[in-house]
C-alpha cells in the first residue's frame, strides 16, 4: 500500500524546497512528500493521485501565488480530497487572509513564514494535521439515515442529537419520494416518524437518545462498576476534568446526558479562547477534547441520565435513570446550565418547529433567504447572529437590555456592527409567537408595555440566560437560591463549616458540601461563565481530587 501524501505548494522555489526538505526530515518514513510550484500544477498532481487511488493526508499552500492564490487552490483541492487537512502559508501582513481562509475553506491552521525552527513552528502544526487526518482518514463514511418531517419536534431532536455527537447522517423528508420509499422498506408509517436507519439496515421508529447512541456506536454502558473519578457533564469543564484526570492516571469515566460540548459545543465560532487566534468552532473544540480524553484512557458515556448522588462510606455513588449505578473515590459535577425557557405565549407549542434553544446549526440550510430572529444579548446570541448572517437574508438580534456592552464581549459587538444584514433591537422582548404547522410570526414589544409589532419569521433561536442543571441533586449538596452549587469558602458561614461536614478541615476551593464531590464550570456558584475558566476549573478540580485522595 502506498504511503499517504503530504503536498506542499509555493511559487517561490527556495521556500518550496525548504518546506519539502523539512517535511521529509520528520515525516519521510511514513509519508510521501510532493511539492508543486503553482496552484494549477498542484491540482494536476492531485488529479493524478486521485486516479491512482492514493491518499492525501495534508496540504500546505502558500497564500500569495500568481494565477491562483492559496485559498482558490484549496477550494478546488477540497473537491478532490475533502478529508485532507489544510494549512495556509502566509506572511505576517497576510494574517487577514488566513482568517478569511478559516471561513471560506475551513483551513485547520495557518503558518507564518519563516517558520524556523521547524521543531517549534512547523512540526507541531503538521503533527496536528496528520493526527486529525488519521482519526478521519479516507474511510468511507457510514451514514445514518433519518426520515422525518421538517416541522416535527421529535425529528429535530434526533437530527440535533446526531449532529452534536458528530455522527454522520443523511436527512430524508417524508414529503420526498426517497423518504417515503425508505419508510416503506422499514415497514413504518408516516405516523411513526422519526425513523432512524443504521448503516447495517436496522430501522428504529421514534427512538430514544439511548437507542440512537447505541445504534450509532456511541458508548452507553460503563465498563466498570468502580472508578477513581466520575465526571458528570461533558461541557468544557467536564472534558477538562476528564482529560486531566485520565492523563494523570486516574480511572476516569465521563457521563453525558445529551452530547459532549455543552452550550460551548453549539457555538459557531469561539474567538477569545487562548491559543486559537483565528477562532475555533465549538464542535471542533469539543471533538478535539473528546478525542484527547479517550487518548488518555477516559471512558465517555453518552445518553446516560444521572438522577442521584450520595456518599456511601468512602465511595461516592452516581445513580442512573434506569436504576443502575456506578461508584468512585471522587466525583466532579460539571453539569453546566440550560437556556431558560422563553415565557412568551405559544412558545412551548412551537419548540422544535421554528423555535429553538441554542444555536441549532442543523437548521442553517433551512434559513437560506429567510428572516431569522435571535433572542438574547450575551456571547452565545452574538455568535449565533454572526453564524446565521452567512445563511439568512436578515438576522435580528432581540435584546431586552439597553445595550450589548453589559453582556457581550467587545470583539463580538464590533463584528456584529460590521455585518450589514444583522439588525439589533434593544429594549425589546418577544411576547407571543404564533403558527400552525410551524412558527410563522412573532410579536415584539418595545420597553415595558410599549408599542408592539408583529413580524414574519419561520426561525427564532433563544439564548436568554441560564438555569443550572441541579434539580436532580435534591438536598444532597448545598445550593444557592438560584440552584447553583456552593463550594469552598462559599460554604462557610461566619467562618463555620457547613452543617454535617465530617472532616477536620475546611472544604477545598471547588469542593461541595459532600467531601470528595467537586464542582467545576458554569454550575458552580460565583463561577465565571467563560469557556477558558470552565476548562481551568475542570483541571483544578482534578488537582484537588488528588489532594483529597492523599489525605484519606
- Which of 429, 445, 464 represents a domain boundary (last residue)? 464
Q: Does residue 220 lie within any of the structural domains?
A: no
Co-location of 77 and 116 in the same domain: yes
Co-location of 457 and 473 in the same domain: no
Co-location of 460 and 471 in the same domain: no
Q: Does residue 262 lie within any of the structural domains?
A: yes
Give the count of domains, the chain: 4
Co-location of 132 and 9 in the same domain: yes
Q: Are 502 and 487 in contact (CB under 8 A)?
A: no
Domain residues for 170? 144-215
Strand-pairing partners, residue 252, are: 229
Count Cα neighbours of 166 within 13 Å in the Cβ-side half-sphere.
17
Strands (E), 409-505: 422-425, 428-435, 439-446, 452-456, 459-462, 466-468
Q: How many residues does the chain have?
A: 552
Q: Does residue 26 lie within any of the structural domains?
A: yes
- pLDDT of 451 over the 70 cut: yes
- Which of 215, 248, 278 represents a domain boundary (last residue)? 215
CATH no. for residue 208? 3.40.30.10
Mean pLDDT to the nearest integer, 521-532: 91
Q: Does residue 502 lie within any of the structural domains?
A: yes
- Which of 156, 183, 215 represents a domain boundary (last residue)? 215
CATH no. for residue 313? 3.50.50.60
- pLDDT of 8 over the 90 cut: yes
If 0-12 CB within 10 Å is exposed, 13-18 middle and 19+ buried, where does residue 312 land?
A: exposed
Mean pLDDT to the nearest integer, 157-176: 86
The torsion angle over the Cα atoms of residues 288, 289, 290 and 291, rounded to 10 degrees, is 50
Co-location of 126 and 12 in the same domain: yes
Q: Does residue 239 lie within any of the structural domains?
A: yes
- What value does the mean pLDDT of the chain take? 89
Co-location of 446 and 524 in the same domain: no
Mean pLDDT to the nearest integer, 484-492: 95
Q: Does residue 431 lie within any of the structural domains?
A: yes
pLDDT at residue 190, as a whole number: 83
Co-location of 104 and 162 in the same domain: no
Answer whether the bond into residue 16 is a cis peptide, omega within 30°: no
With a pLDDT cut of 90, the percent of the chain lying above it is 56
Co-location of 476 and 457 in the same domain: no
Co-location of 251 and 330 in the same domain: yes
Of 483, 510, 512, 513, give the one whose Cα is nearest residue 498: 513
Co-location of 285 and 423 in the same domain: no
Q: Does residue 221 lie within any of the structural domains?
A: no
What's the pTM?
0.75
Co-location of 34 and 55 in the same domain: yes
> What percentage of the chain's residues is helix, strand, coil (to nearest 5)?
35, 25, 40
- pLDDT of 535 over the 60 cut: yes
- pLDDT level of residue 143 (50, 70, 90 thresholds): confident
Residue indicated by cell numbers 518546506: 19
Mean pLDDT to the nearest integer, 63-89: 86
Q: Which three cell numbers stand for residue 144?
A: 445514518
Q: Are 513 and 501 in contact (CB under 8 A)?
A: yes
Task: Kindly give the pairing relationship between strand 422-425 and strand 428-435.
Answer: unpaired
Co-location of 20 and 132 in the same domain: yes
pLDDT at residue 97, as a whole number: 58
Q: Does residue 172 lie within any of the structural domains?
A: yes
Amino acid at each position: 500500500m502506498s504511503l499517504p501524501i503530504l503536498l506542499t505548494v509555493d511559487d517561490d522555489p527556495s521556500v518550496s524546497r525548504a518546506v519539502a526538505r523539512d517535511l521529509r526530515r520528520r515525516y519521510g518514513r511514513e509519508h510521501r512528500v510532493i511539492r508543486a510550484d503553482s496552484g494549477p500544477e498542484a491540482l494536476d498532481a492531485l488529479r493524478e493521485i486521485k486516479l491512482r487511488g492514493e491518499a492525501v493526508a495534508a496540504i500546505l499552500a502558500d497564500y500569495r501565488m500568481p494565477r491562483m492564490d492559496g485559498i482558490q487552490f484549496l477550494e478546488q483541492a477540497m473537491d478532490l480530497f475533502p478529508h485532507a487537512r489544510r494549512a495556509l502559508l502566509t506572511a505576517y501582513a497576510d494574517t487577514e487572509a488566513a482568517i478569511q481562509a478559516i471561513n471560506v475553506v475551513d483551513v485547520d491552521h495557518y503558518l507564518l513564514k519563516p517558520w524556523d525552527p521547524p521543531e517549534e513552528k512547523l512540526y507541531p502544526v503538521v503533527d496536528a494535521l496528520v493526527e486529525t487526518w488519521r482519526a478521519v482518514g479516507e474511510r468511507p463514511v457510514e451514514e445514518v439515515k433519518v426520515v422525518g418531517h421538517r416541522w416535527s419536534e421529535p425529528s429535530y431532536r434526533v437530527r440535533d442529537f446526531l449532529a452534536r455527537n458528530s455522527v454522520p447522517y443523511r436527512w430524508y423528508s417524508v414529503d420526498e419520494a426517497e423518504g417515503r420509499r425508505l419508510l416503506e422498506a422499514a415497514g413504518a408509517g408516516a405516523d411513526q416518524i422519526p425513523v432512524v436507519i443504521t448503516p447495517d439496515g436496522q430501522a428504529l421508529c421514534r427512538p430514544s437518545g439511548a437507542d440512537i447512541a447505541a445504534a450509532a456506536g456511541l458508548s452507553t454502558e460503563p465498563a466498570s462498576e468502580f472508578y477513581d473519578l466520575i465526571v458528570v457533564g461533558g461541557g468544557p469543564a467536564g472534558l477538562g476534568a476528564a482529560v486531566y484526570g485520565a492523563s494523570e492516571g486516574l480511572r476516569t469515566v465521563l457521563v453525558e446526558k445529551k452530547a459532549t460540548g455543552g452550550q460551548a459545543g453549539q457555538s459557531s465560532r469561539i474567538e477569545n479562547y487562548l491559543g486559537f487566534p483565528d477562532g475555533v468552532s465549538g464542535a471542533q473544540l469539543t471533538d478535539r477534547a473528546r478525542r484527547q480524553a479517550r487518548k488518555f484512557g477516559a471512558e465517555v458515556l453518552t445518553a446516560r441520565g444521572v438522577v442521584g448522588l450520595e456518599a456511601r462510606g468512602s465511595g461516592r455513588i452516581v445513580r442512573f435513570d434506569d436504576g443502575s449505578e456506578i461508584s468512585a473515590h471522587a466525583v466532579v459535577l460539571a453539569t453546566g446550565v440550560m437556556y431558560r425557557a422563553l415565557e412568551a405565549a405559544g412558545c412551548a407549542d412551537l419548540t422544535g418547529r421554528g423555535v429553538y434553544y441554542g444555536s441549532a446549526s442543523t437548521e442553517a440550510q433551512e434559513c437560506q433567504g429567510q428572516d431569522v430572529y435571535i433572542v438574547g444579548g450575551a456571547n452565545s446570541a452574538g455568535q449565533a447572529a454572526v453564524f446565521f448572517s452567512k445563511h439568512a437574508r436578515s438576522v435580528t438580534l432581540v435584546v431586552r437590555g439597553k445595550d450589548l456592552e453589559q453582556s457581550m464581549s467587545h470583539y463580538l459587538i464590533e463584528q456584529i456592527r460590521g455585518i450589514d444584514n444583522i439588525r439589533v433591537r434593544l429594549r425589546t422582548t418577544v411576547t407571543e409567537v404564533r403558527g400552525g404547522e410551524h412558527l410563522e410570526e412573532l410579536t415584539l414589544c418595545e420597553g415595558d408595555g410599549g408599542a408592539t409589532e408583529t413580524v414574519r419569521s419561520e426561525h427564532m433561536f433563544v439564548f436568554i440566560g441560564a438555569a443550572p442543571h441541579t434539580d436532580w441533586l435534591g438536598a444532597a449538596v448545598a445550593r444557592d437560591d438560584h440552584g447553583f452549587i456552593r463550594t469552598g469558602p462559599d460554604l462557610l458561614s461566619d467562618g463555620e463549616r457547613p452543617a454535617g461536614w465530617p472532616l477536620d478541615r475546611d472544604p477545598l476551593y471547588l469542593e461541595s458540601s459532600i467531601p470528595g464531590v467537586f464542582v467545576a464550570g458554569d454550575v458552580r456558584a460565583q463561577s465565571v461563565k467563560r469557556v477558558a475558566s470552565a476548562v481551568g476549573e475542570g483541571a483544578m478540580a482534578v488537582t484537588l481530587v488528588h489532594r483529597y485522595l492523599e489525605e484519606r
